[in-house]
Amino acid sequence: MDKLEITRTLEKLYSSSKKRNFDESIELIVTFKGLNVKNKDHRFEYTLDIPYPFVSKLQTVAFVKDKNLAEGLKGIVDKIVFDVDIPKISKKEAKVLANTYDLFLAEGPVMLVVGKYLGQVLSPRSKMPTIIPPNPNVVKTIIDSYRTKIKISNKKNKSSVALQLKIGKKNQSIDQIAENVLKVYNSLLEKLPAGKQNIKEVYLKTTMSTPMKVGEKQ
């Protein structure tokens, strides 16, 4: 699969899709062959930096102990939770947190408390906090860096041999989205045990469209 195939597929996808009154996401679907997802050597989970981020803002939570740090994080993170309040969070409330926020941060001394009381909810969702230093400017840099990162994994669904993830937004240029797709595709070639031989088909779709196979003649 090359960039030209991706670009042509995106052009056909756009021309055949209805215009929506919101900025649709562009999704990448990869189906696999020759994989036994029950085999741990055939499962993967990694974070990849894409060249053209499509997330304008991450909803962030910071678990903190230092009141001065909490004051400095106002306006940088969306929610601050003090360590003494973590044990008061019910499992239902923890699930709401996990579903509402994209990025979780924590001071080093607070990580044990987070793990003890929230680990069962956050860990399966791959949302355990990133440790932050007591410096608001550095925290802002960390948050900004996560805008370029996407998580690629087939570990959570052991019965499936397909991967689906957001790869861009329709307001980006076709060239930018094609670069993102190519970056993910090439990273998969490196992670799969048999490389290209493990990839069956690649599709692209918008939020509301049906999938379109990359390289398929229309």
Write down all domains in the chain, each with its CATH number in brackets.
3-54+148-213 (3.30.190.20), 60-146 (3.40.50.790)
Position 17 scores a pLDDT of 83
pLDDT of 218 over the 60 cut: no
Rounded to whole angstroms, the Cα distance separating 55 from 128 reads: 20
d(CA 196, CA 199): 5
160: confidence class by pLDDT, cuts 50, 70, 90: low
Question: Quick one: 21 exposed, middle or buried, by C-beta within 10 A (0-12, 13-18, 19+)?
Answer: exposed
pLDDT in tens, 128-141: 999 999 999 999 99
Q: What is the pLDDT confidence band of residue 72, given thresholds at 50, 70 and 90?
A: very high
Give the tens place of pLDDT for each residue, 180-212. Answer: 999 999 999 999 999 999 999 999 999 989 999
Mean pLDDT of the chain: 91
Count Cβ neighbours within 10 Å for each residue of 118-152 and write b for 16 or more, e otherwise.
beebbeeeebbbbebeeebeebeebbeebbeebeb
**Identity of residue 94:** A
Structure-block tokens of residue 129:
């906090």
Beta bridge partners, 131, equal 106
Mean pLDDT of all residues in 72-92: 96
